[in-house]
């Protein structure tokens, strides 16, 4: 089931209930076999939620990138061995103040949809391109197959909320 992607009145992106519940289920599954992993998953989920649930504010692209990193580690905990991740270096990021979740929300929509539709591994590459970020999803085990591309423009939510 898909969560709504429409932004809230303040322009920020809602957190997916489906995602949070599944991360908690994954954390529960690690408690006996790998208690340290369980603890890490909970700590990362705490960081994830803090970034999104703190009051309305703007964040740097570097902070948002860290948030994306946290999100991807949580997905790796849910689906061990299925995600390969490549993120840009913070110094290559465009300088901008953006809404929390402005990159993570569209990125997670694409990844969740991919994981729901296709079995096997997925390679997630996020690259800085001028004022935007390019997301590329591929199947590393089937190099011939077409992947998916998504351009995530930065500052769009900001521009919308100021007009």
Partner 1 sequence: MSSGLAILAVDDEPRALTDIKRLLETSASVERVATATSAKEALVYLSGGRYDALFLDVAMPEIEGMALARLLRRFADPPAVVFLTGHPDAAVEAFEVQALDFLVKPVTRERLESALTRVEQHVRGAEAAKSAPGGEGAEAMVTGPDVVAVDNPKGGGKRLVRLETISFAQANGDYARIVCDDGRFLLRTPLSQLEKDWGPSGFARVHRAYLVNLKHAVELRAQLNGTAVLIMRDDTEIPVARRNVAALRRRLHA
User: Where on the chain is the footprint of partner 1 (CB under 8 A)?
Assistant: 1, 3, 17-19, 21-22, 24-30, 32-33, 77-80, 115-119
CA 143 to chain centre: 24
- The phi-psi region of residue 130 (left if phi > 0; otherwise alpha if psi is between -120 and 50; otherwise beta) is left
DSSP states of 77-115 as a string? Answer: HHSTTTEEEE---GGGSPP-EE-TTTTHHHHHHHHHHHH
Residue with Cβ nearer partner 1 (26 or 154)? 26
């Amino acid at each position: 089931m898909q969560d709504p992607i429409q932004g809230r009145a303040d322009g920020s992106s809602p957190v997916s209930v489906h995602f949070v519940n599944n991360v908690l289920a994954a954390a529960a599954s690690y408690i006996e076999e790998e208690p340290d992993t369980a603890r890490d998953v909970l700590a990362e989920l705490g960081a994830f939620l803090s970034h999104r649930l703190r009051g309305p504010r703007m964040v740097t692209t570097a902070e948002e990138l860290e948030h994306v990193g946290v999100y991807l580690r949580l997905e790796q905990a849910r689906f061990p061995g299925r995600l390969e991740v490549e993120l840009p270096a913070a110094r290559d990021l465009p300088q901008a103040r953006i809404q929390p979740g402005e990159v993570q929300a569209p990125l997670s929509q694409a990844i969740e949809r991919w994981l729901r539709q296709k079995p096997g591994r997925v390679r997630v590459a996020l690259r800085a391109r001028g004022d935007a970020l390019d997301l590329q999803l591929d199947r590393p085990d089937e190099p011939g197959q077409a992947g998916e591309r998504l351009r995530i423009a930065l500052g769009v939510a900001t521009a919308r909320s100021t007009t």
